[in-house]
Amino acid sequence: MANRTVAAGYTRALLAYAVSRGADRQTLIEQSGLRAGGLDDADNRVPLENWVALMKTAISVCSDPAFALRFGEVVRTEDFSGALLIAGVAETVGEARTEMNRYARLIRDDDDDGSSDLLELVTDKEQVWLEFKNPRYNENPYLAEVGMTWCVRETQKMLAVHYAGRPFLKAIHFTHDEPSYRAEYDRVFGVPLIFGSDKNAMLVDKGFLSLRMPGSSPYALRVLSKHADDLLRRLENSKTIRGRVESLLIPSLHTGDATMETIAKRMGLSRQTLFRKLKAEGVTFENTLDELRRKMALHYLGQEKVSVNEAAYLLGFSEPAAFSRAFKRWTGSSPRTARTSTARG
């Protein structure tokens, strides 16, 4: 599961649901190896292995083998990833599938290059299949249970409100073996189920994909797509050593402890190993820190409109004069001049 992650919001929702079922929060965190602070920002990433460990712990503590199915009935769309909200404002169900595939990396961050679709359309004569191509579903039934339950639930809710409960689902296939709690599957899905199949897929009504999405909005689509594009860039940056260093430096700058030794320790590396890994990417720790400070200084003085003294503190400079010298080296002007120019603009 190395390098595989899920959204922190997804993990936070699972943790909260387990607690609502009577599980002890601290026990869940300790046994799953989570860093509770990393869940504060829903767009942060959490290692998949920690999510799986949390699910297994919740199942055990709550004594409920069907826990993942029940979680799938309550998890919110935005908890998986904000990218999924884009599907709700697409023009049709078919285009909603296209948008989900476009931002698949935010939902399915695997070791592969993310080139395959998240939800593939397969037409076989008169049959239309929506196949979940997430390889994790094959490896872990819990992920398939949550994901497919959510998908069916949200679709049925939309159809009940806007299409008088129009049926769309004809059958579901799962790659995992039939579980001991098969009765819960029948309750949740209410259609013929095949276990031990060669695919995780839903057989749907042929006209389903052409249905218009009731929340269709070109404006909302543009806004949400911009946010999703930003998250994709952030995810890609986190795959590099430099990106990981930057993500650890940001909350450490103001403490004055943004040193190579400290960051290396947090990454579980020696100072020399971190040096070598950064060198392999053509950068040094000092360059990375300096460039990060430059970008954040421009952000603080521009968008945030903080004072020069406040910016110096937030960026970890010992005194405003040191920050001013650095800023002039970066931009050729003083921070006060830059702030004044922004205010006039």
* Secondary structure in 3-state letters for the chain: CCCCEEEHHHHHHHHHHHHHCCCCHHHHHHHHCCCHHHHCCCCCEEEHHHHHHHHHHHHHHCCCCCHHHHHHHHCCHHHHCHHHHHHHCCCEHHHHHHHHHHCHHHHCECCCCCCCCCEEEEEECCEEEEEECCHHHHHCHHHHHHHHHHHHHHHHHHHHHHCCCCCCEEEEECCCCCCCCHHHHHHHHCCCEECCCCCCEEEECCCHHHCECCCCCHHHHHHHHHHHHHHHHHHHHHCCHHHHHHHHHCCCHHHCCCCHHHHHHHCCCCHHHHHHHHHHCCCCHHHHHHHHHHHHHHHHHHHHCCCHHHHHHHCCCCCHHHHHHHHHHHHCCCHHHHHHHHHHC
End-to-end alpha-carbon separation of the chain, Å?
Answer: 48
- Residues 25 and 95 both lie in one domain: no
- Residues 166 and 51 both lie in one domain: no
Q: How many domains does the chain fold into?
A: 3
pLDDT of residue 187: 97
- Residues 108 and 144 both lie in one domain: yes
In a domain, 306, yes or no: yes
- Domain containing 94 equals 82-218
| Strand 127-132 relative to strand 201-204, pairing | antiparallel
- Residues 60 and 89 both lie in one domain: no
Q: Distance (Å, rounded) from C-alpha 152 to C-alpha 154?
A: 6
Neighbouring residues of 60: CB distance < 8 A, sequence distance ≥ 6: none
In a domain, 231, yes or no: no
- Residues 121 and 212 both lie in one domain: yes
- Residues 125 and 173 both lie in one domain: yes
In a domain, 191, yes or no: yes
CATH number of the structural domain spanning residue 291: 1.10.10.60
pLDDT of residue 113: 47
Q: Give this prediction's pTM.
A: 0.67
pLDDT tens digits for the chain (345 residues)? 446 788 888 999 999 999 999 999 999 999 999 877 678 877 778 888 899 999 999 999 999 999 999 999 999 988 887 667 888 888 999 888 888 888 777 766 654 545 456 788 888 777 899 998 878 888 889 999 999 999 999 999 999 999 998 999 999 999 999 999 999 999 999 999 999 999 999 999 988 989 999 888 888 888 888 877 877 777 777 678 888 788 778 777 877 778 999 888 877 789 999 999 999 989 999 999 999 899 888 888 876 567 888 888 888 888 899 999 999 999 998 888 877 665 444
pLDDT of residue 111: 47
- Residues 39 and 158 both lie in one domain: no
- Residues 192 and 110 both lie in one domain: yes
In a domain, 74, yes or no: no
